[in-house]
Amino acid sequence: MSASGASTPPVPFRYRKLGYAALTVTDLNRSLPFYRDLLGLDLVEQAGDSAYLRCSRDHHNIVLTQGPKAGLRRVGFELETQGDTDRAFEHFRARGLAPQWLPKAETQALRQGPSFRVREGHCQLEFEFYGSTTVLARPYEPTVAKIARLGHVVIGTADFPGTYRALRHDFGFAESDFVEDRFSFLRCHPNPFHHSFAVGASDSNHLHHVNFMVTDIDDVGRAWHRMTKAGVPIAFGMGRHPPSGSVFLYFYDPDGMTVEYSYGMEEFPEVGAREPRRLEPVPQSLDTWGAVPDAHFGKRGVIETA
Ligand SMILES: [Fe+2]
Protein backbone atom coordinates (compact mmCIF):
# COMPACT_ATOMS: atom_id res chain seq x y z
CA MET A 1 0.00 0.00 0.00
CA SER A 2 1.26 3.49 -0.79
CA ALA A 3 1.64 6.18 1.84
CA SER A 4 -1.25 8.01 0.21
CA GLY A 5 -4.14 9.21 2.30
CA ALA A 6 -6.66 8.06 -0.25
CA SER A 7 -6.60 4.52 1.02
CA THR A 8 -8.43 3.50 4.15
CA PRO A 9 -6.00 3.69 7.09
CA PRO A 10 -5.00 0.24 8.30
CA VAL A 11 -6.24 0.56 11.88
CA PRO A 12 -9.00 -1.52 13.46
CA PHE A 13 -11.08 1.43 14.67
CA ARG A 14 -13.14 4.25 13.16
CA TYR A 15 -13.06 7.87 14.24
CA ARG A 16 -16.19 9.94 14.73
CA LYS A 17 -14.61 13.35 15.24
CA LEU A 18 -12.17 15.58 17.05
CA GLY A 19 -13.98 15.79 20.36
CA TYR A 20 -12.10 18.31 22.44
CA ALA A 21 -8.86 20.09 23.14
CA ALA A 22 -7.58 20.54 26.69
CA LEU A 23 -5.58 23.72 27.16
CA THR A 24 -3.62 25.02 30.09
CA VAL A 25 -4.03 28.73 30.67
CA THR A 26 -2.08 30.75 33.21
CA ASP A 27 -5.07 32.72 34.52
CA LEU A 28 -8.47 31.08 34.18
CA ASN A 29 -10.30 34.25 35.22
CA ARG A 30 -8.67 36.09 32.35
CA SER A 31 -9.07 33.35 29.72
CA LEU A 32 -12.67 32.43 30.50
CA PRO A 33 -14.17 35.74 29.29
CA PHE A 34 -12.08 35.47 26.12
CA TYR A 35 -13.24 31.95 25.23
CA ARG A 36 -16.84 32.57 26.30
CA ASP A 37 -17.60 36.18 25.39
CA LEU A 38 -15.23 36.97 22.52
CA LEU A 39 -14.91 33.54 20.91
CA GLY A 40 -18.49 32.50 21.65
CA LEU A 41 -18.21 29.17 23.48
CA ASP A 42 -20.84 28.14 26.02
CA LEU A 43 -19.54 27.63 29.56
CA VAL A 44 -21.09 24.35 30.69
CA GLU A 45 -19.39 23.87 33.99
CA GLN A 46 -16.56 25.15 36.12
CA ALA A 47 -15.07 22.73 38.61
CA GLY A 48 -11.95 23.46 40.61
CA ASP A 49 -9.21 24.74 38.33
CA SER A 50 -11.00 23.65 35.14
CA ALA A 51 -13.73 25.10 32.94
CA TYR A 52 -15.66 23.01 30.41
CA LEU A 53 -16.89 24.86 27.35
CA ARG A 54 -18.71 23.70 24.26
CA CYS A 55 -19.79 24.68 20.76
CA SER A 56 -22.01 21.63 20.17
CA ARG A 57 -24.35 19.31 22.08
CA ASP A 58 -21.27 17.76 23.74
CA HIS A 59 -20.51 18.45 27.38
CA HIS A 60 -17.18 19.97 26.32
CA ASN A 61 -15.19 20.81 23.24
CA ILE A 62 -12.61 22.90 25.09
CA VAL A 63 -11.37 22.28 28.62
CA LEU A 64 -9.38 25.11 30.17
CA THR A 65 -7.27 24.32 33.20
CA GLN A 66 -5.20 26.82 35.11
CA GLY A 67 -1.51 25.99 35.34
CA PRO A 68 1.92 27.58 35.35
CA LYS A 69 2.63 27.28 31.61
CA ALA A 70 0.16 27.87 28.80
CA GLY A 71 -0.11 25.04 26.31
CA LEU A 72 -1.86 22.01 24.93
CA ARG A 73 -2.50 19.29 27.51
CA ARG A 74 -4.13 16.77 25.19
CA VAL A 75 -6.57 16.24 22.36
CA GLY A 76 -9.64 14.02 22.69
CA PHE A 77 -10.98 12.04 19.75
CA GLU A 78 -14.41 10.46 19.79
CA LEU A 79 -14.58 7.09 18.05
CA GLU A 80 -17.73 5.69 16.50
CA THR A 81 -18.54 3.12 19.19
CA GLN A 82 -17.30 1.63 22.44
CA GLY A 83 -16.19 -1.38 20.37
CA ASP A 84 -13.93 0.93 18.35
CA THR A 85 -12.48 2.26 21.61
CA ASP A 86 -11.76 -1.28 22.89
CA ARG A 87 -10.13 -2.22 19.58
CA ALA A 88 -8.12 1.01 19.55
CA PHE A 89 -6.84 0.31 23.07
CA GLU A 90 -5.74 -3.18 22.05
CA HIS A 91 -4.17 -1.79 18.88
CA PHE A 92 -2.04 0.75 20.77
CA ARG A 93 -1.16 -1.83 23.43
CA ALA A 94 -0.01 -4.30 20.78
CA ARG A 95 2.18 -1.59 19.27
CA GLY A 96 3.87 -1.01 22.60
CA LEU A 97 2.49 2.48 23.13
CA ALA A 98 1.20 1.74 26.65
CA PRO A 99 -2.33 3.16 26.53
CA GLN A 100 -3.96 3.72 29.94
CA TRP A 101 -7.67 3.54 30.74
CA LEU A 102 -8.85 6.51 32.77
CA PRO A 103 -10.06 5.89 36.30
CA LYS A 104 -13.82 6.14 36.71
CA ALA A 105 -13.62 9.40 38.67
CA GLU A 106 -11.96 11.02 35.69
CA THR A 107 -14.39 9.75 33.05
CA GLN A 108 -17.22 10.88 35.32
CA ALA A 109 -15.72 14.36 35.56
CA LEU A 110 -15.47 14.37 31.75
CA ARG A 111 -18.99 12.93 31.42
CA GLN A 112 -17.60 10.34 29.02
CA GLY A 113 -17.84 6.60 28.59
CA PRO A 114 -14.73 4.45 29.10
CA SER A 115 -11.79 6.50 27.83
CA PHE A 116 -8.07 5.90 27.47
CA ARG A 117 -5.03 8.04 26.89
CA VAL A 118 -1.93 7.33 24.89
CA ARG A 119 1.08 9.56 24.33
CA GLU A 120 2.65 9.90 20.90
CA GLY A 121 6.36 9.60 21.66
CA HIS A 122 7.84 11.94 19.03
CA CYS A 123 5.77 15.08 19.48
CA GLN A 124 4.91 14.04 23.08
CA LEU A 125 1.25 14.94 22.68
CA GLU A 126 -1.24 12.94 24.71
CA PHE A 127 -4.29 11.69 22.84
CA GLU A 128 -7.51 10.55 24.48
CA PHE A 129 -10.01 8.18 22.90
CA TYR A 130 -13.59 7.49 23.90
CA GLY A 131 -16.67 5.99 22.31
CA SER A 132 -19.34 8.15 23.91
CA THR A 133 -19.72 11.51 25.55
CA THR A 134 -22.70 13.09 27.28
CA VAL A 135 -25.07 14.83 24.90
CA LEU A 136 -26.59 17.80 26.66
CA ALA A 137 -30.34 18.34 26.50
CA ARG A 138 -29.98 22.05 25.81
CA PRO A 139 -28.57 22.75 22.33
CA TYR A 140 -25.56 24.99 21.90
CA GLU A 141 -26.81 28.45 21.10
CA PRO A 142 -24.36 30.60 19.13
CA THR A 143 -23.79 34.11 20.47
CA VAL A 144 -21.12 36.26 18.82
CA ALA A 145 -20.29 33.72 16.08
CA LYS A 146 -22.15 30.82 14.57
CA ILE A 147 -19.59 28.19 15.52
CA ALA A 148 -20.37 24.88 13.84
CA ARG A 149 -17.76 22.77 15.54
CA LEU A 150 -14.29 22.50 16.99
CA GLY A 151 -12.50 22.14 13.65
CA HIS A 152 -8.92 21.11 14.18
CA VAL A 153 -5.80 21.26 16.28
CA VAL A 154 -2.40 21.87 14.70
CA ILE A 155 0.96 21.28 16.35
CA GLY A 156 4.59 21.89 15.50
CA THR A 157 7.12 19.20 16.25
CA ALA A 158 10.89 18.92 16.38
CA ASP A 159 10.60 15.37 15.03
CA PHE A 160 8.40 15.68 11.98
CA PRO A 161 9.30 12.35 10.32
CA GLY A 162 8.72 10.36 13.52
CA THR A 163 5.50 12.15 14.41
CA TYR A 164 4.20 11.89 10.87
CA ARG A 165 4.88 8.15 10.68
CA ALA A 166 3.16 7.53 14.02
CA LEU A 167 0.11 9.63 13.20
CA ARG A 168 -0.34 7.89 9.86
CA HIS A 169 0.42 4.33 10.84
CA ASP A 170 -0.26 4.03 14.59
CA PHE A 171 -3.05 6.60 14.93
CA GLY A 172 -4.53 5.83 11.53
CA PHE A 173 -5.04 9.37 10.26
CA ALA A 174 -5.54 9.77 6.52
CA GLU A 175 -3.56 12.43 4.70
CA SER A 176 -5.40 15.10 2.71
CA ASP A 177 -2.52 17.36 1.57
CA PHE A 178 1.12 17.83 2.47
CA VAL A 179 4.27 19.86 2.03
CA GLU A 180 6.97 17.26 1.68
CA ASP A 181 8.95 16.69 4.90
CA ARG A 182 7.39 19.84 6.39
CA PHE A 183 3.64 19.72 6.91
CA SER A 184 0.74 17.27 6.79
CA PHE A 185 -3.02 17.88 6.87
CA LEU A 186 -4.68 14.85 8.44
CA ARG A 187 -8.27 13.73 8.61
CA CYS A 188 -9.67 11.24 11.07
CA HIS A 189 -11.16 8.75 8.68
CA PRO A 190 -14.07 8.28 8.03
CA ASN A 191 -14.82 11.83 9.27
CA PRO A 192 -15.07 13.80 6.00
CA PHE A 193 -13.34 17.07 6.92
CA HIS A 194 -10.10 17.89 5.11
CA HIS A 195 -8.23 18.05 8.41
CA SER A 196 -9.10 17.56 12.05
CA PHE A 197 -5.43 17.52 12.99
CA ALA A 198 -2.27 18.74 11.30
CA VAL A 199 1.41 18.70 12.08
CA GLY A 200 4.31 20.82 10.88
CA ALA A 201 8.09 20.65 11.24
CA SER A 202 9.43 23.06 13.86
CA ASP A 203 12.39 23.54 16.17
CA SER A 204 10.40 22.35 19.21
CA ASN A 205 7.18 20.57 20.11
CA HIS A 206 4.43 23.14 20.57
CA LEU A 207 0.83 24.02 19.93
CA HIS A 208 0.34 25.78 16.61
CA HIS A 209 -3.35 26.65 16.81
CA VAL A 210 -6.84 25.55 17.72
CA ASN A 211 -9.54 26.07 15.08
CA PHE A 212 -13.28 26.66 15.24
CA MET A 213 -15.33 26.33 12.07
CA VAL A 214 -18.09 28.88 11.56
CA THR A 215 -21.13 28.59 9.34
CA ASP A 216 -21.00 32.04 7.75
CA ILE A 217 -18.22 34.05 6.12
CA ASP A 218 -19.62 37.08 7.98
CA ASP A 219 -18.59 35.42 11.23
CA VAL A 220 -14.97 35.73 10.14
CA GLY A 221 -15.33 39.37 9.09
CA ARG A 222 -17.23 40.33 12.23
CA ALA A 223 -14.61 38.63 14.36
CA TRP A 224 -11.89 40.84 12.89
CA HIS A 225 -13.74 43.93 14.08
CA ARG A 226 -14.83 42.43 17.40
CA MET A 227 -11.31 41.26 18.29
CA THR A 228 -9.69 44.48 17.15
CA LYS A 229 -12.15 46.55 19.18
CA ALA A 230 -11.48 44.40 22.25
CA GLY A 231 -7.72 44.82 21.84
CA VAL A 232 -7.16 41.17 20.90
CA PRO A 233 -4.07 41.00 18.69
CA ILE A 234 -4.59 39.52 15.23
CA ALA A 235 -2.08 36.79 14.37
CA PHE A 236 -2.82 36.26 10.67
CA GLY A 237 -5.55 37.19 8.24
CA MET A 238 -8.13 37.47 7.09
CA GLY A 239 -7.08 35.27 4.22
CA ARG A 240 -7.92 32.14 2.30
CA HIS A 241 -6.08 28.84 2.68
CA PRO A 242 -5.50 27.21 -0.68
CA PRO A 243 -5.25 23.64 0.67
CA SER A 244 -8.70 23.57 2.25
CA GLY A 245 -10.26 26.57 0.50
CA SER A 246 -11.28 28.05 3.85
CA VAL A 247 -11.43 31.74 4.74
CA PHE A 248 -9.58 32.30 7.98
CA LEU A 249 -8.75 34.69 10.79
CA TYR A 250 -6.20 33.90 13.49
CA PHE A 251 -5.89 35.79 16.75
CA TYR A 252 -4.27 35.31 20.15
CA ASP A 253 -5.87 34.15 23.37
CA PRO A 254 -4.77 35.95 26.57
CA ASP A 255 -1.71 33.67 26.86
CA GLY A 256 -0.72 34.33 23.27
CA MET A 257 -1.86 30.93 22.01
CA THR A 258 -3.18 31.08 18.46
CA VAL A 259 -6.90 30.53 17.86
CA GLU A 260 -8.58 30.42 14.46
CA TYR A 261 -12.02 30.90 12.99
CA SER A 262 -12.49 29.46 9.53
CA TYR A 263 -15.31 29.24 7.07
CA GLY A 264 -15.61 26.42 4.57
CA MET A 265 -13.62 23.24 4.18
CA GLU A 266 -13.34 20.48 1.61
CA GLU A 267 -15.05 17.24 2.59
CA PHE A 268 -13.88 13.80 1.53
CA PRO A 269 -15.96 10.72 0.79
CA GLU A 270 -15.28 7.69 2.93
CA VAL A 271 -14.42 5.58 -0.12
CA GLY A 272 -12.70 6.79 -3.29
CA ALA A 273 -11.20 9.99 -1.83
CA ARG A 274 -8.79 11.91 -4.02
CA GLU A 275 -5.08 11.48 -3.58
CA PRO A 276 -3.33 13.96 -1.25
CA ARG A 277 -1.81 16.91 -3.04
CA ARG A 278 1.84 17.84 -2.72
CA LEU A 279 1.89 21.57 -1.93
CA GLU A 280 4.72 23.88 -2.81
CA PRO A 281 6.61 25.12 0.30
CA VAL A 282 5.94 28.84 -0.31
CA PRO A 283 3.86 31.39 1.66
CA GLN A 284 1.20 31.30 -1.06
CA SER A 285 0.44 27.73 0.05
CA LEU A 286 -0.82 29.29 3.31
CA ASP A 287 -2.82 32.19 1.94
CA THR A 288 -3.93 33.45 -1.44
CA TRP A 289 -4.99 36.94 -0.32
CA GLY A 290 -1.57 38.26 0.66
CA ALA A 291 -1.95 38.34 4.44
CA VAL A 292 1.32 38.23 6.36
CA PRO A 293 1.46 36.27 9.62
CA ASP A 294 2.59 37.96 12.82
CA ALA A 295 5.96 36.83 14.20
CA HIS A 296 4.31 34.83 17.01
CA PHE A 297 1.69 33.17 14.82
CA GLY A 298 1.39 29.52 15.83
CA LYS A 299 4.37 29.66 18.16
CA ARG A 300 3.13 29.99 21.73
CA GLY A 301 1.85 27.12 23.86
CA VAL A 302 3.90 24.13 24.97
CA ILE A 303 2.91 20.51 24.50
CA GLU A 304 2.58 19.21 28.04
CA THR A 305 4.59 16.13 28.67
CA ALA A 306 3.50 15.08 32.15
FE1 LIG B 1 -6.23 26.00 10.82
* Weakest-pLDDT range from 4-8, 55-59, 162-166: 4-8
Q: Is the confidence at residue 151, as pLDDT, over 60?
A: yes
pTM for the predicted model, two decimal places: 0.96
Same domain (yes/no): 226, 263? yes
Residue 7's pLDDT is what? 57
pLDDT in tens, 239-287: 998 877 899 999 999 999 999 999 999 999 999 999 999 998 887 778 8
Identify how many contiguous H helices and E strands the chain contains and give both numbers. 5, 18
Q: What is the largest CA-CA distance in the chain?
A: 52
Over residues 225-246, the mean pLDDT reads 93
Give dist(CA 286, CA 115) in Å, integer: 35
In this structure, what CATH number is given to the domain that contains residue 224?
3.10.180.10
Ligand 1 centroid to 103 CA: how many Å?
33
Ligand 1 centroid to 209 CA: how many Å?
7
Same domain (yes/no): 171, 296? yes
Answer whether residue 7 is part of any domain.
Answer: no
Domain count, the chain: 2
Same domain (yes/no): 210, 257? yes
Ligand 1 centroid to 95 CA: how many Å?
30
Give dist(CA 113, CA 16) in Å, integer: 14
Same domain (yes/no): 185, 215? yes
Same domain (yes/no): 103, 160? no
Answer whether residue 136 is part of any domain.
Answer: no
Same domain (yes/no): 273, 200? yes
Ligand 1 centroid to 207 CA: how many Å?
12
Q: Is the confidence at residue 167, as pLDDT, over 90?
A: yes
Residue 2's pLDDT is what? 37
Ligand 1 centroid to 83 CA: how many Å?
31
Same domain (yes/no): 225, 256? yes
Identity of the residue numbered 169: H
Ligand 1 centroid to 10 CA: how many Å?
26
Residue 286's pLDDT is what? 81
Q: Is the confidence at residue 3, as pLDDT, over 70?
A: no
Ligand 1 centroid to 196 CA: how many Å?
9
pLDDT in tens, 287-301: 889 899 999 999 999
Answer whether residue 92 is part of any domain.
Answer: yes
Give dist(CA 222, CA 96) in Å, integer: 48
Over residues 25-49, the mean pLDDT reads 97
Domain final residue, candidates 70, 100, 130: 130
Answer whether residue 3 is part of any domain.
Answer: no
pLDDT band for position 42 (cuts 50, 70, 90): very high
Ligand 1 centroid to 26 CA: how many Å?
23
How many residues in total does the chain contain?
306
Answer whether residue 135 is part of any domain.
Answer: no
- Tell me the average pLDDT of the chain: 95
Residue-range definition of the domain harbouring residue 171? 147-303
Same domain (yes/no): 106, 249? no
Same domain (yes/no): 156, 292? yes
List the Cα angle 40/42/46 in 5-degree steps: 130
Domain final residue, candidates 86, 103, 130: 130
Ligand 1 centroid to 211 CA: how many Å?
5
Ligand 1 centroid to 176 CA: how many Å?
14
Same domain (yes/no): 180, 281? yes
Answer whether residue 105 is part of any domain.
Answer: yes
Ligand 1 centroid to 94 CA: how many Å?
32
Ligand 1 centroid to 135 CA: how many Å?
26
Answer whether residue 8 is part of any domain.
Answer: no
Domain final residue, candidates 130, 164, 180: 130
Residue 8's pLDDT is what? 63
Answer whether residue 138 is part of any domain.
Answer: no
Residue 243's pLDDT is what? 73
Give dist(CA 20, CA 11) in Å, integer: 21
Ligand 1 centroid to 290 CA: how many Å?
17
**Residues 241/261, Cβ–Cβ less than 8 Å:** no
pLDDT in tens, 91-116: 999 999 999 999 999 999 999 999 99
Same domain (yes/no): 92, 224? no
Same domain (yes/no): 170, 45? no
Ligand 1 centroid to 3 CA: how many Å?
23
Residue 5's pLDDT is what? 44
